[in-house]
């Protein structure tokens, strides 16, 4: 009888072990996106925490890129959409006048000027079965019409739910049910050298798939600075081909998880020549969470001016090598000031994670909300010290908003122009002693009509030197709406330095 009991116990034990192994294998290999349960309280589906670590490493005998890429495409491609945009533009003159000029002037209606419908194309990622879609801010911003086309050719009108300029992330929605959904991975686990795929609609070629590797992490390419100069740039760089139209599409790892939103390319021609850049999906998830909960993205701010640690700064501070992020100044009454941070401090870690570049520190802080506490490891007096900082919102003494409000008091005209101060090295490359950098120009704005472009350096206004952004705004404050001001502008086109005059009407 005891032998029978022992045999029965052995069988039960073997069955239990089999069940456990089955669960572990199914979870570890991450075979089917449908196995991912919707995250509680979130509109998107995430990969299980730690799934990357559970997946055994591939060796040369196991790796079959043909079958792996095919399976990835089958899993993810149905959740990637094309986003068609339309912008209505009022024309100052009849666009057909040129063709009729030999037949006398055409009549003009000042109250109803002709209208041009400008169309564009981007991509998007379906993150919920009921139609929430991730895309880029620049794809949908200031558009009059949005239309989404699925892989199965169905089309839907879309509306913007929320967007954030400083991260280049936008959330839109269509009215649909039971849609295929992409699984969002963990971009903190991404490693240089791992295989990735980009899926989107480049050059009007919908549902295009390209492959490559992650070629760099934490890239700051200075393209999404907001009006306060505090855009979050911590891009994943890839050599998978990305072209205009890919914006808003997915960068996917070998598990079929979205690890980034394709956003930009490095190119002198406007088309792919080697490298593309994606917003890390963890940043996008934070934006979506805030839009869902608050209707906007809420960022925590330290209230410091920061810069890279150079070999000279490292030597002065007593560091063996350049590392961390140097605090050049601390804004009075900011979160950093209240916590006891000082200019000259070097931030080595945020919550135990090393930061070695200014954009890495910005990204780490931006993943927290106002009121959150963060632990900073600071290098001061040739020793490490720990500080706990309670983050504030931008309008609670961080300095940037105070400066913005001060400019608003001056009733400055709307120029559609974003500028920032620029370092000596950049100026020396243009053979200038001073100037400010144009970092963005809004379409159809006064700056756009004046043909100012990103990368221009404004160094004079009405013949007077422009040495800082504050100088620029102070000079503009001396003029009124409707005035035309003359700017001296310098830029580099490949190897040639170009000087030109720009006439800007204050609107």
Please report, rounded to a whole number, the percentage of residues in the chain having pLDDT higher than 70: 76
CB 374 within 8 A of CB 365: yes
Other beta carbons within 10 Å of 479:
16
Tell me what pLDDT residue 176 has.
93
When mean pLDDT is compared across 127-141, 221-235, 470-484, the lowest value belongs to 221-235
Residue 220: pLDDT band (50, 70, 90) is: confident
CA 365, chain centre distance (Å): 15
Query: Which residue from 95, 80, 89 is spatially nearest to 126, judged by alpha carbons?
Result: 80
Tell me what pLDDT residue 443 has.
76
Q: Quick one: which H or E segment has residue 490?
A: strand 484-493
Of 41-50, 54-63, 155-164, 496-505, the range with the highest mean pLDDT is: 155-164
When mean pLDDT is compared across 334-343, 408-417, 438-447, 487-496, the lowest value belongs to 408-417
| Positions of E strands within 165-271 | 169-174, 183-184, 195-200, 208-219, 235-238, 250-252, 257-266
Mean pLDDT confidence for 39-50: 71
Per-residue pLDDT tens for 285-313? 999 999 988 888 888 889 898 888 999 99
Q: Quick one: which H or E segment has residue 132?
A: strand 132-136
CA angle, 200 then 206 then 208, to 5°: 55
DSSP per-residue string spanning 23-35: HHHHHHHT--GGG
In the numeric block, which tokens belong to residue 41?
Answer: 């309280």
In the numeric block, which tokens belong to residue 49?
Answer: 């925490």
DSSP 57: P
Of 7 and 221, the structure prediction assigns the larger pLDDT to 221
Other beta carbons within 10 Å of 474:
14
CA torsion sign, 326 to 330 to 334 to 337? positive
Tell me what pLDDT residue 113 has.
58
Tell me what pLDDT residue 70 has.
87
Mean pLDDT confidence for 89-112: 51
Tell me how far CA of residue 219 lies from CA of 31, 158, 286, in angstroms.
Answer: 31, 31, 19
- List CB contacts of 85: < 8 A, sequence separation 6 or more: 119, 120, 121, 122, 139, 140, 143, 145, 146, 147
Per-residue pLDDT tens for 186-210? 998 999 999 999 999 988 888 899 9
Greatest Cα pair distance, the chain, in angstroms, is 113
Of 105 and 170, the structure prediction assigns the larger pLDDT to 170
When mean pLDDT is compared across 191-200, 251-260, 286-295, 393-402, the lowest value belongs to 393-402
Class of domain 304-390: mainly beta
CA distance linking residue 473 with residue 197, whole number of Å = 44
CB 364 within 8 A of CB 309: no
CA distance linking residue 190 with residue 280, whole number of Å = 9
CA torsion sign, 91 to 170 to 455 to 393? positive
Which region, left, alpha or beta, applies to residue 21 given φ > 0 means left and ψ of -120 to 50 means alpha? alpha
Tell me what pLDDT residue 361 has.
92
CB 262 within 8 A of CB 123: yes
Residue 505: pLDDT band (50, 70, 90) is: confident
Of 2-11, 162-171, 397-406, the range with the highest mean pLDDT is: 162-171
Tell me what pLDDT residue 404 has.
45
| Positions of E strands within 391-452 | 417-421, 436-441
Residue 35: pLDDT band (50, 70, 90) is: very low
Query: Which residue from 310, 379, 364, 304 is spatially nearest to 334, judged by alpha carbons?
Result: 304
Q: Flag whether pLDDT at 390 surpasses 70.
A: yes
Spell 90-128 as b/e; 16+ CB within 10 A means b.
eeeebeeeeeeeeeeeeeeeeeeeeeeeeebbbbbbbbb
Of 92-106, 177-191, 209-223, 415-429, the range with the highest mean pLDDT is: 177-191
In the numeric block, which tokens belong to residue 499?
Answer: 């000087």
Of 266 and 345, the structure prediction assigns the larger pLDDT to 345
Q: Flag whether pLDDT at 506 surpasses 90.
A: no
Q: Which residues pair with 46 in a beta bridge?
A: 184
CB 232 within 8 A of CB 173: no
Q: Flag whether pLDDT at 490 surpasses 90.
A: yes
Residue 272: pLDDT band (50, 70, 90) is: low
Mean pLDDT of the chain: 80
Q: Flag whether pLDDT at 362 surpasses 80.
A: yes
| Domain extent listing, the chain | 36-52+62-296, 304-390, 412-505
Q: Flag whether pLDDT at 354 surpasses 70.
A: yes
Domain 36-52+62-296 has CATH 1.10.3720.10: no
Mean pLDDT confidence for 431-456: 87
CA distance linking residue 355 with residue 357, whole number of Å = 6
CB 452 within 8 A of CB 415: no
Domain 412-505 fold is Pdz3 Domain (2.30.42)
CA distance linking residue 350 with residue 304, whole number of Å = 14
DSSP 107: P
Q: Do the two domains 304-390 and 412-505 of this chain adopt the same fold?
A: yes
Residue 11: pLDDT band (50, 70, 90) is: very low
Tell me what pLDDT residue 108 has.
53
Tell me what pLDDT residue 340 has.
94
SS3 112: coil
When mean pLDDT is compared across 88-97, 101-110, 189-198, 289-298, the lowest value belongs to 101-110
CB 348 within 8 A of CB 377: yes
Per-residue pLDDT tens for 366-384? 889 999 999 999 999 999 9
CA distance linking residue 37 with residue 111, whole number of Å = 56
Query: Which residue from 283, 294, 82 is spatially nearest to 174, judged by alpha carbons?
Result: 82
Mean pLDDT confidence for 235-255: 91
In the numeric block, which tokens belong to residue 10?
Answer: 């052995």
């Amino acid at each position: 009888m005891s032998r029978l009991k022992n045999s029965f116990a052995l069988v039960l034990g073997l069955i239990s072990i089999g069940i456990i192994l089955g669960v572990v294998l199914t979870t570890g290999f991450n075979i089917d996106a449908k196995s991912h349960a919707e995250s509680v309280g979130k509109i998107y589906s995430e990969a299980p925490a730690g799934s990357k670590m559970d997946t055994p490493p591939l060796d040369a005998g196991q790796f079959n890129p043909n079958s792996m890429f095919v399976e990835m495409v089958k899993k993810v491609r149905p959740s990637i959409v094309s986003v068609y945009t339309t912008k209505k533009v009022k024309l100052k003159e009849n666009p057909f006048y040129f063709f009729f000029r030999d037949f006398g002037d055409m009549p003009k209606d000042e109250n109803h000027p002709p209208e041009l419908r400008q169309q564009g194309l981007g991509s998007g990622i379906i993150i919920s079965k009921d139609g929430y879609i991730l895309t880029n801010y620049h794809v949908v911003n200031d558009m009059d019409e949005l239309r989404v086309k699925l892989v199965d050719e169905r089309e839907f009108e879309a509306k913007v739910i929320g967007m954030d300029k400083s991260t280049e992330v936008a959330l839109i929605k269509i009215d649909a049910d039971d849609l295929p959904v992409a699984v969002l991975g963990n971009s903190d686990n991404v490693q240089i050298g791992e295989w990735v795929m980009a899926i989107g609609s480049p050059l009007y070629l919908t549902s295009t798939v390209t492959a490559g590797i992650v070629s760099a992490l934490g890239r700051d390419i200075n393209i999404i600075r907001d009006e306060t100069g505090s855009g979050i740039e911590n891009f994943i760089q890839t050599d998978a081909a990305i072209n205009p139209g890919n914006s808003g599409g997915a960068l996917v790892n070998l598990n079929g998880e979205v690890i980034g939103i394709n956003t930009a390319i490095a190119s002198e021609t406007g088309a792919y020549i080697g490298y593309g850049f994606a917003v890390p999906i963890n940043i996008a998830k934070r934006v979506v969470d805030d839009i869902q909960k608050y209707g906007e993205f809420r960022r925590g701010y330290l209230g410091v001016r920061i810069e890279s640690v150079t070999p000279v700064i490292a030597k002065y501070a007593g560091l063996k090598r350049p590392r961390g992020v140097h605090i050049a100044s601390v804004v009075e009454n900011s979160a950093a000031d209240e916590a006891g941070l000082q200019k000259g401090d070097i931030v080595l870690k945020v919550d135990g994670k090393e930061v070695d570049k200014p954009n890495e520190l910005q990204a780490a802080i931006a993943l927290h909300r106002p009121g959150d506490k963060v632990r900073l490891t600071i290098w001061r007096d040739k020793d490490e010290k720990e500080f706990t900082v309670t983050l504030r919102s931008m309008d609670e003494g961080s300095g940037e908003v105070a400066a913005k409000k001060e400019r608003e008091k001056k009733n400055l005209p709307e120029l559609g122009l974003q500028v920032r101060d620029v370092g000596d090295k950049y100026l020396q490359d243009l053979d200038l002693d001073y100037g400010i950098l144009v970092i963005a120009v809004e379409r159809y704005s006064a700056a756009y009509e004046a043909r100012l472009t990103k990368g221009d350096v404004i160094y004079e206004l009405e013949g007077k030197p422009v040495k800082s952004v504050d100088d620029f705004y102070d000079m503009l404050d001396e003029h009124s709406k409707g005035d035309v001001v003359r700017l001296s502008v310098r830029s580099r086109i490949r190897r040639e330095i170009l000087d030109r005059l720009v006439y800007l009407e204050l609107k």
